[in-house]
Structure 1
Amino acid sequence: MSDAPVYEIDPQAFWRDPYPDLRHMRAAAPIAYVPQLGATLITRRDDIFVSEKKIEVFSSHQPDGLMTVLMGDNMMRKDGAAHMDERRAIFPTVSPRTVRDVWKRQFEAAAARALDRLAGRGGTDLVRDYAMEVSAEALKSMTGLTNMTWQEMDRVSQGMIDGCANYAGDPAVEARCHDCTASIDRHIDARLPELRDAPDQSLISVQIAAGLSGAQMRANVKLAISGGQNEPRDAIAGAAWALLAHPDWREAVRAGEVSWLQVFEEYARWISPIGMSPRRIAQRHEVGGVTLDPGDRLFFMFGSGNRDEAVFARPDIFDPTQDISAAISFGAGPHFCAGAWASRCLIAEVALPMLFDRFPGIALAGEVPFGGWAFRGPLSVPVRLG
């Protein structure tokens, strides 16, 4: 058991807004055990950046972890050669070239369809009526699950995310997660004959071509869905909100003084749609005066590291022009997000510019609530379209 100092949280308050607690932890207990989460949290950016690369200590292999139990033994829960072998197998799907030459035009078509449906409405919710659909349609194309509706893609993604964050052990949440993984398996089964006869660059197809087992392929598809729907969905809607809430930055984008990529990457630092990544301590280790024991559960708190006062000039402020080269929004080690290129394309090259080009008079129409700490984003973004 870690000898880290204990830091107590109110789980509901932490879900609503984790940043006050994380700020206090960085200052007073940067490596602390949080009993309500059953884990030791590392909250400073540089500690996370260095430690995440030490896979012999901070292991992603978690055979009893929620993600492995609920979704299968995917590549995110493997280290070293086992991880890299599967990462290479999926690279033809997520490479910068494939994103540019194959997926981008499909992203654009999906965004155009969603925007066409919004035309004529006086108001809408960007989460429910735009970001959710655009993100899900992109994921349908990339996984190969084109037989799934975008509504079902969002449902199964959220169900798995909730399951993987179910540290309180709520049986209803676990049951919904199992229902969602079963739906994914049924949709994979229905697509396999066609993809075997006519291979493409989808995630299912390239894994079959690489010789991965059916279990590996299914686990990695579920991994892609769990991470490839809610984060882009939340980043599309959240970054749009950030611009609408900061009209000076919106005008700077319009004038060409700030790029859409700067907007997206600053939002991803500021809010961190992926706020945490779990690890299992594989061997006794000391860091920052704290001794970690084998078997301890540890969380790298990316959302905290991205607001580290010792690293960023304006950590709590949305400023697309500040230096965020040290941000760890996509991770910091060998598990750097494989979908980073696709996310940048979908959000910064397609979803955001197409939304603001189509509705130049768009404006906020109400309060925008946020939620989550392991995964964080707006619950709704009500707008008036213009």
Structure 2
Amino acid sequence: MNSKNNEHGDVDGALANTSNAQHFMAGFVRTALRTREQRLNPFPWYRTCLSQGTVLRDETSQSWDVFGYEEAQFILRNHAHFSSERTARGQGGPGNYAPSILNLDPPRHTQLRRLINLAFTPKAIAAFQPHIEAITASLLDDIVKETGGKAGEIDLVDALAYPLPVIVIAEMLGVPAADREKFKRWSDLLVEGPADLRAETLADLVARRAAGRKELDDYFRDIVDVHRQKDDNTLIGALIAAQIENESLSLEELISFCVLLLAAGNETTTNLIVGAWRCLLEHPETMAMLRENPALVDGVIEETLRYYSPVQATSRIVTQDIEVGGQQFAKGDRVVVWLGAANRDARVFEDPDQFIPTRSPNHHMAFGHGIHFCLGAPLAKLEARAAILAMLSRMEDISAVETVLAPIVSGFVYGVKSFPIEVAWVAH
């Protein structure tokens, strides 16, 4: 969900313990990915690393980097040897914040996932499709009104790719969509990474994240209190009512899940939508093909997820000595799994650096793998599908604007802050 919906990516941390948080964030920062160009295009670095080995040691961050597809899958499905819960401890979260399900191991992860699944079923998500299409149409109507229907430049992020998923998740949660500017500020902060590894830069980010997490918790505590007083069909209402073996989610667990949905449920989906349009504009023959046959949109989305994965990395902590990819991991070691690199592993994907919308099979890991596979994957795809098809239907011409793209500065989320396009509307 818009980078926003994933159960893979470490977005839960209010980071109060500076030393632990600095170590955690440093695990995702590499000198090879510090410039604007490198952040926009990390893929040459992945190729170089994969040519050296599927598992490499980074001494600067004191962590293992996993680039290979097979090795990444092994780690993500082997929760007994590779803990998600201990990464949460490494983030240095203060106070009584409950870790989200993406930062838990079984058996607690299993219990919470079962509870949440009761309210987050594929049937419930599929039922949102007509409403998602209606929201998309309304947002495009707003752009037409603002521009008078004249051809011109719009920012895809501000106009559609951000508001669509945040309105959807706000309605699902039962929170005011009018608060979406607050949501953007909070979700941007939750995925923000350090620009560099200087102590003052890291300490500043730690402090801002802690303050932002407190604001978020206070906000959702009030929202949950409101929904406890009424019987409704919102996701929060369903989560409040959900029980397995007479066990319900605690208040802190409810809040933590809301925070996860807000950040993962809007940040990554925004980047999926924008990533798809980057691919279409970089490959105009694909856009022409899609105009001729809109049924190919699902293949475009799957290949976008592989090619421009909205989440590029996640991490685990080794719980007991084990060998992976010919390297010996020791208990307590930090492991960074580079999903974006695994999705371009030539051992699995033919011509991995080519965008091939008809690629089949396409078993990418953009939504993770194993027990933490993204709950919101179907919702993210629904929203991307609605956005792409509506734009193609309403706009007779869409072209890129020559500009200098600004990458999101994050240790694990991949995207751009804005994406200007030139559009001409279909005459009615």
Which of 41, 53, 76 aligns to 2:77? It is 53
CA distance in 2, matches of 1:147, 1:384: 27
Q: Is the 8 A contact 1:43 1:305 kept in 2?
A: yes
Please say if residues 68 and 77 of structure 1, whose CA atoms lie closer than 8 Å, have aligned partners that are also in contact.
no
Residue of structure 1 in register with 2:53 after alignment? 29
Q: C-alpha displacement at 1:177, in angstroms?
A: 1.8
Q: Tell me how far apart the structure 2 counterparts of residues 181 and 83 of structure 1 sit (CA, whole Å).
A: 22
CA deviation vs aligned residue, 1:6-34 (integer Å, no higher than 9, x gap): x9733404534321221111111321122
Cα distance in 1 for residues equivalent to 2:225 and 2:362? 44
> Of 66, 85, 93, which residue of structure 1 is paired with 2:91?
66
Residue 325 of structure 1 and its aligned partner are, at CA, apart by: 2.7
- Pairing 1:1-386 to 2, within 5 Å after superposition: 9-13=31-35, 14-62=38-86, 63-66=88-91, 72-101=98-127, 103-119=128-144, 120=147, 122-146=152-176, 149-162=179-192, 170-210=202-242, 211-256=248-293, 259-348=296-385, 350-367=386-403, 369=405, 370-371=407-408, 374-386=412-424
Deviation per CA, 1:213-272: give whole Å up to 9, x if none: 011111111122221111100111121221122111011111117521111110010011
Give the residue type in structure 2 aligned to 1:94.
Answer: F
Q: Is the 8 A contact 2:34 2:196 kept in 1?
A: no
Does the C-alpha gap of structure 1 residues 301 and 73 become closer, same or farther in structure 2, counting only changes over 3 Å?
Answer: same
Which residue identity does 2:52 align to in structure 1? A
Q: Deviations over 1:264-298 (max 9, x none)?
A: 11001001101111101111111122111111111
TM-score for both structures, normalised by structure 1? 0.90
Question: Following TM superposition, by how much is the alpha carbon of 1:204 offset from its aligned partner in structure 2, in angstroms?
Answer: 2.4
Gaps of 5+ in 2: 1-28, 243-247
User: Secondary structure of 1:173's partner?
Assistant: helix
Structure 2 Cα separation of the partners of residues 105 and 179 of structure 1: 37
Distance 1:267 1:146, change over 3 A: same
The alpha-carbon deviation at position 201 of structure 1 amounts to 4.3
Q: CA deviation at 1:180?
A: 2.5
CA distance in 2, matches of 1:78, 1:243: 37
How far apart, in 2, do the equivalents of 1:342 and 1:167 lie? Answer: 35
1 or 2 for the larger relative contact order (CA 8 Å, sep ≥6)? 2
Whether the 8 Å CA contact 1:258–1:321 is kept in 2: the answer is no
Shift of 1:112: 2.3
Question: What root-mean-square deviation, in Å, do the aligned CA atoms of Structure 1 and Structure 2 show?
Answer: 2.5
Q: What amino acid maps onto 2:327 in structure 1?
A: V
- Which residue identity is paired with 1:145? V
Deviation of 1:342 (Å): 0.8
**Equivalent residue, structure 2, for 1:4:** none
SS at match of 2:346: coil
Q: Distance in 1 between matches of 2:387 and 2:93?
A: 32
Q: CA 1:147–1:343 in 2, change beyond 3 Å: closer, same or farther? A: closer
Shift of 1:301: 0.9
- When residues 12 and 95 of structure 1 are mapped into structure 2, their CA distance, relative to the original with a 3 A threshold, is same
The offset of 1:148, in angstroms, is 5.3
Using a 3 Å threshold, how does the CA distance of structure 1 residues 198 and 260 change in structure 2: closer, same or farther? farther
CA distance in 2, matches of 1:11, 1:247: 28
Q: Structure 1 residues 263-272 or 216-225, which shifts more?
A: 216-225
* SS in structure 1 at match of 2:370: coil
- Note if contact 1:58-1:280 (Cα within 8 Å) is conserved in structure 2: yes
Cα–Cα, structure 1 residues 151 and 36, in superposed 2: closer, same or farther, change >3 Å? farther
Larger deviation: 270-279 or 26-35?
A: 26-35
> 1:368·1:379 contact (CA, 8 Å) conserved in 2?
no
- Structure 1 contact 44–305 (Cα < 8 Å) conserved: yes
CA distance in 2, matches of 1:83, 1:67: 20
User: In structure 1, what is the Cα distance between the partners aligned to 2:404 and 2:132?
Assistant: 26
Conservation of the 8 A alpha-carbon contact between 2:239 and 2:249: yes
Deviation for aligned residue 1:147: 5.8
Structure 1: where are the runs of 5+ without partners? 1-6
CA distance, structure 2, for counterparts of residue 155 and residue 175 of structure 1: 15
Q: Does the aligned pair in 2 maintain the 1:66–1:163 contact within 8 Å?
A: no
Q: Percent identity?
A: 24
Q: Distance in 1 between matches of 2:414 and 2:278?
A: 14
CA 1:283–1:237: 2 relative to 1, 3 Å? same
Aligned pair count reads 378
CA–CA distance in structure 1, aligned partners of residues 156 and 56 of structure 2: 37
